[in-house]
Chains A and B, each alone.
Chain A
Amino acid sequence: MSVSRDDFSIAFRSALLQRGGAQKFSVLSLIFLALIIFFLDVYGVKFTKPIRGFINDVVYRVTFLASTPTRFFPQAGKDISSYLSVREENKKLKEQLEKYKSLELNVEFLSDENKNLQKILETEYFNKNLTNIILAKVLVDKNSPFLKSIIINKGTRIGILKGMPVTKDNYLVGRVVETNYLSSRVLLLNDLNSRIPVTLDEGAQAILSGSGGKNPNLEYLPEDYEILENTNVFASGKDGIFNAGTPIGKTTENGEVELFVDPNQLSFVTVNLIKPTKEVF
């Protein structure tokens, strides 16, 4: 009995403290070190923030470089197939161009009319902030099962702050949750930690919460509210972070919201440099 207990304690101690060969550090010392780093990072001691920011910037750049082959081969395949179908594509694009030319006149007319009407109503033109947006490249888009986020190549150097809304083609994709000097992390709308006040076509208010899956859900809808398919969902702007009226997606038959922008297909996004009225995250 005592022999087996001795065996256990020897094996246990050896597993924790053993060094030699490639094992330059004992597991126990590294566990302590990892715990210290973890608590320093979580409780945000002042001096750890710039260090973490610097580490983030360096690692994100290296990740971007290391992922080049994985990005290059699928892109090369797409390029070759699009090159082969270039004639057909050209024909289609010409047709589309004609269609858009006629639509553009329509849009211009409606836009002018809208501005004039807003002047009459003495309201601010809600798109006034669109001049204050910056384009950012997606550096890292690692598809984690737990967190849905992307890393962009712009940071505090050009004025990005936590909470700023991130869009693509004027559709909302998420918000900035971590800023470094040269990069930022954007929490996508489908992440489990994402909560956004939204408004539906008919004026109903709700909270759009990420599910961790592809499509987020609507919560806190008015009582007895029945979700209809293909209802447009917009940011309500009630949190003072997102522009009211920014389109997000449309409802599906099972009550989820299908986003207008596929969160897994982002390569460039725009960050709206409005200072959020309150701290987020």
Chain B
Amino acid sequence: MAKGNILNKLFASGPLLLLYYLSISEIDTNLEKLFEILSLNLQIIIIYFWIIKRPNLMGTGHIFLAGLINDVVMGFPLGISSLSYLVVCFVGNYVRNKSVNTTIASDWFTFLIALLFANLLFFSLLNNFSDITISYAKISYNTFFTLFLFPVFWFLFNLYQMSFIGVQDA
């Protein structure tokens, strides 16, 4: 019984652990070697999916901390990733409050809004308040592929949820 509880807790912390691991490790989702313009922001997908489906697994404090870690590792000004993650979190919370049942189509559409707000904030803050220059093209490609690949991860995370956590929605 106790073993089962530990396993359940471990599976339930899976998304959060993945979020932290992606932020702190060298693993990246910049797949330039496969295709020159291919890169995506997996952290944003993770946050949005789990905030919509199981908000009790993804605390806002953890999201904030993962953003700070990501900034340190990537070399961005502290707080900028946290802000964009929290914007995603806010849109996710709003969508969850307003909707009774969500489908992949509705999640995909609302994810577009969250992603646009998050990347707009990220880009404008970086552009206006720091010395770092980033390419418009790169951020556009990143936004596009993050949006484009969202359904793939939606299915994977949904599968994970059904297999290891349970189907009960928030």
Given A16-B90, A178-B75, also A25-B131 (CB < 8 A): no
Dominant secondary structure of chain B at its interface with chain A: helix
A27 to B89, Cβ gap below 8 A?
yes
**CA A214 to CA B27, docked complex, whole Å:** 19
Q: Across the interface, which residues of A come within 8 angstroms of B97, CB to CB? A: 10-11, 14-15
Q: A12, A22, A26, A60: which has the most chain B beta carbons within 10 Å?
A: A22
Contact with A along B77-94 (1 / 0, CB 8 A): 111101100110111011
Query: Does B74 touch A at the CB level, under 8 Å?
Result: yes
CB of A116, distance to nearest CB on chain B (Å): 46
**CA A182 to CA B57, docked complex, whole Å:** 35
CB of A179, distance to nearest CB on chain B (Å): 13
A-B contacts counted at CB < 8 A amount to 155
Contact with B along A117-152 (1 / 0, CB 8 A): 000000000000000000000001111111101000
Q: A27, A140, A146, A185: which has the most chain B beta carbons within 10 Å?
A: A146
Q: Across the interface, which residues of A come within 8 angstroms of B141, CB to CB? A: 145
Among the listed stretches B18-26, B103-111, B148-156, B160-168, which one makes contact with chain A, having 4 or more residues with CB under 8 Å of it? B18-26
Q: Across the interface, which residues of B come within 8 angstroms of A27, CB to CB? A: 60, 86, 89-90, 93
**CA A140 to CA B69, docked complex, whole Å:** 13
Q: Across the interface, which residues of A come within 8 angstroms of B82, CB to CB? A: 30, 34, 37
Query: Does B58 touch A at the CB level, under 8 Å?
Result: yes
Dominant secondary structure of chain A at its interface with chain B: helix
CB of B133, distance to nearest CB on chain A (Å): 5
| Chain A interface size range | 35 or more
A11 to B98, Cβ gap below 8 A?
yes
Q: Across the interface, which residues of A come within 8 angstroms of B68, CB to CB? A: 37
Pairs A–B under 8 Å by Cβ, sample size 18:
A10-B97, A25-B59, A25-B61, A25-B64, A34-B64, A34-B67, A34-B80, A34-B83, A34-B86, A38-B125, A60-B73, A66-B26, A70-B26, A145-B39, A147-B134, A192-B135, A193-B131, A214-B32
